[in-house]
Every structure is written in structure tokens, then in C-alpha cells.
Amino acid sequence: MADFLICCRNLTKAYGHRVALQGVDLELGRGRIVGLLGPNGSGKTTLIKIFCGLLQPTLGEVTIDGQAPGVYTKSIISYLPDRMYFADWMRATDLFDLFSDFYADFDRQKAMDMCRALGVNPHDRVKTMSKGTKEKVQLVMVMARKAQLYLLDEPIAGVDPAAREFILNTILTNYNEEGTVLISTHLISDIERVLDEVIFLQNGRITLHNSVDNIREQEGKSVDALFREMFRAMPMEGGGF
């Protein structure tokens, strides 16, 4: 087992001339819940997609449990993408069958239990579900795996605040204890109390990586307040009216 679950060295990704990630160095341990925070377009989704092996870095390298993204890392990563990729004529139960075939660590019973707890009828077709319900189904599929690394790209953006709390508790009570959870979001105040540590991403660079308690101790304010402060006086490139 490698010392760090995720290791990045000088990770850089450019889309043509547009640089999305710039020299990212990062080490993440096991058994942590980590917030990946940054304004829109700061590189959160790009970073996660590189971890998943969906994008190739332009420069630098990344290892997950000591290996470059590939067949092995895909078997230990459970990924919640920022948009739905399932066929909408399927029922949630069909999706569970699909995942049972794909992933050895998928626990179908757990998925059914989580559906019941979240008030989702797994026999409904995906296309008849509301946006929030679809998100819940996706989260169920991702959390019902016993993975080492959960990559959750904006898991709570589409659901109402009451469901958010429930979903966070679902994440807290269902992640594998040796597993690390990386959650990207800009809804910081909602998830702050479940996080061990946070990473601030700005214009493709990591500007802060520290534990939530250290930040509160040193700054005397919440991570949410610090985030608002750091990113307030920053108009978007070419911004202004």
C-alpha cells in the first residue's frame, strides 16, 4: 500500500491555450474527507477527471495508491460525475444490476437500503425522476461501492437543503473507513462540519491546503467565511460591466 492515496507532482492541464491546472502538487492520505473548493472555472472538475483517468495531464504526473490512472485505479475509485451519464429509460434497479456487473465492490443490498432511507423508489424510471431524485440515485450508486477513493463532483448542488443534510449524513455513515472522500463544491457552509481538510483551488493552482480545525484556530473564522474573503475581490478575467 502506498503512503499516500493520491500523489500529484507538477500536474498541469491545458485545453489549447487555456490552462486549467498549473503545477499542482498534492498529497492526500487515507481515511479523510476532503473538500475541493474553488470558484467556477478554477479547475476542480479537471483535477477530478484526471484522477479518474478520463483526462490526460499535459505535464506532470499523478498516482492513485501508487499507480498511474488505469485499470487498477478505476477499480478502487468510485466517481460521481458532475452530470448524469445513465440511460434515462432505465430504472434505478437496472442501474444497480449494471453496477453489480461492473464493480466487484458494489453492494446491491446497501444501495436498496439507501434508496429507502432517501425516499427514492428504485423501481421508477430515471426519466420520471426529478433532478434532485436523480442526484440521489447517482449518489446511492457511488456510495454503495466499497471503494478506496470516492470522488464526488458537486454532489449536493441540485437537492434542497433538507435533503442536503441527509445526503451528507449518508456520505458520513457510508464511506469505507480506510477510504478517502474528495468532495468538490462551492456550497461550503453546508459541508464544512463533515470535512477533515480543505483544498482551495484558484485559477488552476492550489492556494491553500489545511485542516478545517487549523483554519478555524488560526483565522478565527469558518472556512466558508475565509473562502468568501479570499475570492470576493477577484472579478473574473475580462469581467466588469
Partner 1 sequence: MEWKLTDDRPIWMQLSEQMARRIVAGQYPPGSKLPAVRELAADAGVNPNTMQRALAQLENDGLAVSNRTAGRMVTENIAAIEAVRRNMARQLAEEFLSAIQDLGYTRDDVMALWKEEEHHG
CB closer to partner 1 out of 7 and 195: 195
When asked if residue 172 is in the footprint of partner 1 (CB under 8 A), the reply is: yes
When asked if residue 224 is in the footprint of partner 1 (CB under 8 A), the reply is: yes
When asked if residue 117 is in the footprint of partner 1 (CB under 8 A), the reply is: no
When asked if residue 141 is in the footprint of partner 1 (CB under 8 A), the reply is: no
Of 40-48, 109-117, 165-173, 228-236, the segment contacting partner 1 by CB under 8 A is 165-173
When asked if residue 160 is in the footprint of partner 1 (CB under 8 A), the reply is: no
When asked if residue 113 is in the footprint of partner 1 (CB under 8 A), the reply is: no
When asked if residue 228 is in the footprint of partner 1 (CB under 8 A), the reply is: no
Residue among 50, 48, 66 at smallest CA distance from 58: 50
Of 43-51, 79-87, 139-147, 217-225, the segment contacting partner 1 by CB under 8 A is 217-225
Long-range contacts of 152-156 (CB under 8 A, 24+ apart): 152/80, 152/181, 152/182, 152/183, 152/184, 153/44, 153/45, 153/48, 153/79, 153/80, 153/81, 153/82, 153/184, 154/82, 154/184, 154/185, 155/80, 155/183, 155/185, 156/185, 156/187, 156/190, 156/191
Q: How many beta carbons lie within 10 A of that of residue 170, not counting itself?
A: 19
Which residues contribute to the site for partner 1 (CB under 8 A)? 31-33, 165, 168-169, 172-173, 177, 193-196, 212-214, 216-217, 220-222, 224-225
